[in-house]
Amino acid sequence: MIWEPPNIAETCPAHTQLTACSSFAYVFLNLVVQLYGDSKDRRIQEKLQIQDHVVDGEVYDFIVVGAGASGCVVANRLSAVEKWKVLLLEAGPEEPDVTLVPALSVTLLNSNVDWQYKTMPSHDTCLAYQDQRCQWPRGKMMGGSSSINSFVYIRGNRLDYDGWAALGNPGWSYDDVLPYFKKSERNVNIEALNRKYHGVDGEQTVSRWPYVDDPSLMLTEAFNERGLPLNDPNGEQQVGTLQAQNIGDEGERASANIEFIQPIRYKRKNLTVRTESEAVKIIFDKHKRAIGVKYVKDCKEYTAFANKEVIVSCGAINSPKLLLLSGLGPKEHLDDVHIPVIADLPVGKNLHEHVTFNGLLIALPNKTATSVSQREILQSVYDFKKMKVKRGPLSGNGPVNSLAFYKTDPNLPAPDIQVQVNNVNWREYIREPVLYDSLTIFPSSYYDAVVPRVMNLVPYSRGKLLLNASDPHGHPLIYPGYMKDPRDLEATIKGVRVVRSLKDTEAFKSRGAYFVTIPLPACKHLNWGTDAYYECLARSYTSSSYHPVGSCRMGPRDDPLAVVDNRLRVYGVSGLRVIDASIMPNVNRGNTNAPSLMIGERGVAFVIEDWLHNYKR
C-alpha cells in the first residue's frame, strides 16, 4: 500500500473518550487503507511493466525539484519542448487514491503523505498545544499540497499582484498574471462564461461540488443577510460570500499531479518522474552556476546534472531548506550550521501566512446536523469506491467551501478578512479541543457543529525558517511570527465580531443554529463572548491556514529581503530559479493553490522565453 494512515496509537492518551481513539477509528482507518491505499500510478506502472532504473550522473536539460502545484506545471510546460530532457524529483510517494475523496482530505493530515511539520515553541501563540507548537501540514507526494489541501480555488485580489509589481517586480501586476491564471484553468461552471476572468481550455479543472449540504448553504445565506453579495471572488469584486469553486472534477480531487503530470507521464519520453527522491543539495561549479542536484532514493545518494537550469519548486518550507543546505542563505546562519557559503542571501526570512484559530463553535440541532451512525460512515466510504459517477456526501467537503470575504473597515481598499469553515462534533471538541484537532480522521461530511475560522488576509507579522543545527537534513525550525504585530490580532477580533452577528440572521434562526457559549479549557477564566476571550482563543488555539509563503522573496536587487529577481532567478548564482509560493513578497488575499499554479505558469514562461527566444536553442 502507498498510503499509511495517522498513527492514532501514538497520539491517543490512555483515558480519552474521543471517537478518533476508539476501536471504531481503527476499523475506519483500516477500511480506508484497504479501499484507497493504493495508487493509480502504481497500477499503471505495473500494467506497463515500467521500472525506474536510477543511474548515477544522469544528464538532463532541466531538473525540477518538487512535484507540487508549481512544479507539476513547470515540468509539464518544459517537457512540451520535445528536444528538452526534463527530470522531475519528488520526495514523497505516488499520489494515493485516498486523496481523490473530497471528504477524506482531513484524513490525510499526519499520515505518511504529510511532512508533519510543527512550528517552534512560542510565548504568544499556539499556547494550548503541546510544547506550544502548531501543526503546519504540507503535502509529501506527487501533487504536493494540491493533493492534501481543502480544494478551494481562490486567486486573491487585484491589489495583491499590483502590489507585487509596485515593489519593483515588473511583469507581476494583475493584468500581467491574469492570462497565466486563465492558461491553466478549465472552468466547467457558469463562471467560465465570463471569459475576461476565467479560462476553459487549461489542464486544471475548476468546478462546483456535486454535493453541498444544508449547513453549508446556511452559512452562505447568513453572510448574505449581513450584506455580503453572492458573487465570484475571482472576478471583478472580491467582497462577498459563496460556496467556492474547487480543484475537483466530477466529485473527485483534481490535483496538479492528476491534471498536469498523469496525462503526459507515460507518453512523453523526454520526461522522467522520480518519486521518493529527496533533493539534499544543489551542485555549483566554480563559477557559481547550478549544474545539478544530489538526491537520496532508497537510502542511496545519487547525482543528476542539468545542462540548462535547476528549478526549485519545493514550496515555502522545503525550497528555502534546500537552498540553505546548498550554501545559499544568511552567512551567519550558514556558519552556525557549518555549511560553506555560496551566496549570502536572506533565504528563510519573510516567512508568513494567514493565521487563524479554532474554537468558535456553532452548534446544529439534530434536524440540521449531518451526523450519521458509525455503520453509515463505513457504508458511505465503501459505496463511494464503487460509484462510477461520484455523488453523495463524500463527493463534497462538508462546510469547508463556505467562504466569506469582507472589510473590517469600509475605507479599506480590499478585504482584510476571509472566513473559511471547519466542522466538528462539538461535545467531543469541548472536552478535548487540542487532541480533537490533532485527530481529524473522519469524513468532513458528517458533523453537528461548524467552526468559522477567521483569517487575517493582510498579515503584518513575519517569521523565519532556519536549519536545525543538530540535524540540518531533518525538519527545519519554523518560526511563524504569528501576531508579533498587534495589528494582526486587532483585525482578527474585528472579523470575529462580524461572525458573531450571524446569530441574528434568519438563516441561523430557521435552522436552530446557535453559538456554543461554554468556554474552552485554556480560556475558561474569561467570559465567553468578550474580546478578551476571543484573543485568548486566537493565542491558545492558533491554527495555520496552510498558506505559508514568502521565504524566498521576489524583489529588486536593493530589496534587503529579496532572494530572487522578477524572473525568479536566484541572486548571486546562475542557472537556478525558485518557482513556487515561497517567492511571494506578500501573501495574496485568499487561498494559495491557485496562485501557486499561476506562479508555475508565469515562472516557466520566463524560462522558455530565455532559452527558446533569447538563446535560439
Active site residues: 547
In sequence order, the β-bridge partners of residue 343 are: 328
Q: Which amino acid is at 486?
A: P
In this structure, how many other beta carbons lie within 10 angstroms of the beta carbon of residue 26? 13
Q: What is the dihedral sign for C-alpha 31, 32, 37, 38?
A: positive
Q: Could you tell me if 601 and 176 are in contact, meaning their C-beta atoms sit under 8 angstroms apart?
A: no
Q: Could you tell me if 597 and 145 are in contact, meaning their C-beta atoms sit under 8 angstroms apart?
A: no
**DSSP secondary structure letter of residue 258:** I
Distance of alpha carbon 584 from alpha carbon 580, whole angstroms? 8
Q: Could you tell me if 134 and 187 are in contact, meaning their C-beta atoms sit under 8 angstroms apart?
A: no
Cell of 190: 457558469
Q: What is the dihedral sign for C-alpha 518, 521, 524, 526?
A: negative
Q: Could you tell me if 113 and 99 are in contact, meaning their C-beta atoms sit under 8 angstroms apart?
A: yes
Q: CA torsion 210→258→66→352, rounded to 10°?
A: -10
Q: Could you tell me if 324 and 349 are in contact, meaning their C-beta atoms sit under 8 angstroms apart?
A: no
Per DSSP, which regions of 11-145 are E strands? Answer: 58-65, 86-89, 117-118, 135-136
In this structure, how many other beta carbons lie within 10 angstroms of the beta carbon of residue 510? 11
Closest by Cα among 453, 425, 454, 430 to 441: 425
Exposure of 68 in the CB half-sphere (CA atoms within 13 A): 38
Q: Which amino acid is at 55?
A: V
Cell of 216: 453549508
What is the total residue count of the chain?
617
Cβ-based neighbours of 210, under 8 Å, separated by 6 or more: 250, 251, 390, 391, 395, 396
3-state secondary structure of 70: helix
Distance of alpha carbon 275 from alpha carbon 66, whole angstroms? 10
Cβ-based neighbours of 278, under 8 Å, separated by 6 or more: 89, 91, 295, 296, 297
Distance of alpha carbon 327 from alpha carbon 335, whole angstroms? 10
Distance of alpha carbon 160 from alpha carbon 268, whole angstroms? 36
**What share of residues in the chain are helix, strand, coil (percent, to 5)?**
35, 20, 45
Exposure of 308 in the CB half-sphere (CA atoms within 13 A): 19
In sequence order, the β-bridge partners of residue 466 are: 477
Cell of 498: 462580524
Q: Could you tell me if 578 and 312 are in contact, meaning their C-beta atoms sit under 8 angstroms apart?
A: yes
Cβ-based neighbours of 531, under 8 Å, separated by 6 or more: 493
Cβ-based neighbours of 10, under 8 Å, separated by 6 or more: none
